[in-house]
Amino acid sequence: MKKTLLFTFLLLLSLAVTAQHKTLKDVVSEHQLDNGMRFLLVQRDGAPMISAGWVAHVGSANERPGTTGMSHLFEHMMFKGSNTIGVQDAKLDDQLRAELDGLRAQMFELERDSRLKVRTGVAESMSDTSLQSDEMKALESKFQAVIEQQRENLIKDQFDQIYTEQGATGMNAFTNTDMTVYFIRVPKNKLELWFWMESERLSDPVFREFYSERDVVYEERRLRTESTPTGKQNEVYNSMYWRGHPYGWPVVGWPSDISAITREQAEDFFDIYYAPNNLTAVLVGDFDQAHALKLANDYFGRIPRGKKAPPEVVTLFMPLEGGFEYKAEVEAPPSATLTFHTTAYAGVDHPALMVLADVLNGKTGRLHKRMVLKDQIATSASATADSRKYDGVFEIRATGKAGVDPQQLKATLLEEVVKIQTDGISEYDLEKVRNNLTANNLRRLEDNFFLGIQLLYYDGLRDWSYMETLMDRVKLVSREDVQRVAEKYLQASDMGSKIFTRKTGGEPEDPALAEFSEQQKQMLNQLQSQLASASTEKKKEMLIELPSMREASPPEVQAVIDYLLQQQGK
């Protein structure tokens, strides 16, 4: 899979709010093919590269217990090619895949008994050596032998190579709770190549290296969650907060589910969620619209509409019925995070919650001024209004200095919330936030690539046209609105709180990270994990990309990239 540093970077940018001087409906042309696939076309003269991509309206929220991690696994699988891309002998590849399916089915039957032994306390985990029977060992040996045969028949990374040889750049993808997005930049004279390549992997999927790729995902989970200072604890807290809701399991999936997913289940998943009627494509750049629509019909129009409509996500958030506090010792500085339930994407109070977050956020925000500068108990403090497709939360967090009691951080965060609930905000604060939001987001829309990413992201959330009205709605937010949403949603009696204390004898944190927010640290961990797991060639390519990414990124991302480059001696 083509997985580069752009994943975290672009996800952060995609989560940003969008603004524009003129209405997007004047420049975005929307079209739908007979099979239900939608196209958003933005024609801009002059640029040599076209920003191209598509979003599958499926994320971890569309999974179920037993198949968690499926959406993220597909992000990997979609770079494996087709019967004409990525393989030397397609017929042999078919035979080997069938053989692997048969061996895996036999292994699954033996694993039934192993799961029972784990559940009844006979063994500690599925990796317990006592569960490795001679029969299982023999099957695993055969399985690995076939895997090696399959690898010898592959043309590794050919999907990527074809694009690169024709001048395309930045091929990548990301998965979150609500969507899976694939994107790339292609030269404007290679637009038909994009139509062929993308329609090829959608019309002729092979799920090649399926079982070995599950192991790659499992390793990715280990690097990003299990080997990070707070990854496992954050996962526990998230599942507690979202009890019963599909946002409660991690995007990467539960370990036991990842190892048990079958290729048959993957095919069923693909038929429903990767059908053209569940996809939206975006093109931004210098192209002829009539020609692009003809190519869309010629290439994507040949893919049949899905036979089954994607099932509706019906589970709603269950009220906490009182607050709860999760405490854990971690090998990281003390911290406190407070989580409040709000509304889903495009909710009536979304703009006011955004303004509230900005009043609290940043170097000039209330949290930094109070906790970092005045009280000097924290190295960073921030707030996020996170409205997703099916629900939303408002989070405020602070990372404390060494020796600071995280309960003091929690109490101070709540004090700042109460101040806004009681006294509201000033007109100056309101205007400052409006100006910042407008300026930041206008700048991001100037680049074709980031406009394309944001169109994909907002469409993945449900409706790209919300970009059209969001900033107008922000401009209508009053001081009273901000005070009202603080009173309505940020109630201490109905919140989750995450309290981390440093383990005794834990490794001290690099002082250079003292000013980083928790979000920046999480991003740094992900980038470090990607570098650590990359091949030597891929690592070089990723490091070459960093400086150019830095130039187009906001200050908080620039700081992370600077730190990473310094680590790498660049």
What sign does the dihedral 16-19-20-26 (CA atoms) show?
positive
Q: State phi, psi for 237 to the nearest 5 degrees.
A: -60, -40
Dmax over CA atoms of the chain, in Å, equals: 74
Q: How many helices (H) and strands (E) does the chain have?
A: 21, 11
DSSP of 113-176? HHHHHHHTTSSSSTT-GGG--HHHHHHHHHHHHHHHHHHHTB-TTHHHHHHHHTT-EEEEEEE-
Domain ranges of the chain: 88-153, 324-518
**pLDDT at position 471:** 78
Q: State phi, psi for 140 to the nearest 5 degrees.
A: -65, -35
* Rounded Cα gap, residues 136 and 107, in angstroms: 7
**pLDDT at position 530:** 63
Q: Are 275 and 267 a contacting pair, CB within 8 Å? A: no
Q: How far apart are the first and last CA of the chain?
A: 26
* Rounded Cα gap, residues 11 and 557, in angstroms: 11
Residues of the chain with pLDDT under 70: 1-23, 440-444, 505-515, 517-519, 522, 525-526, 529-541, 548-555, 569-570
**pLDDT at position 437:** 76
Q: Are 202 and 303 a contacting pair, CB within 8 Å? A: yes
**pLDDT at position 20:** 35
**pLDDT at position 226:** 86
Q: Which fold has domain 324-518?
A: Cytochrome Bc1 Complex; Chain A, domain 1 (3.30.830)
**pLDDT at position 520:** 75
**pLDDT at position 374:** 97
Tell me which residue has tokens 């289940």.
265
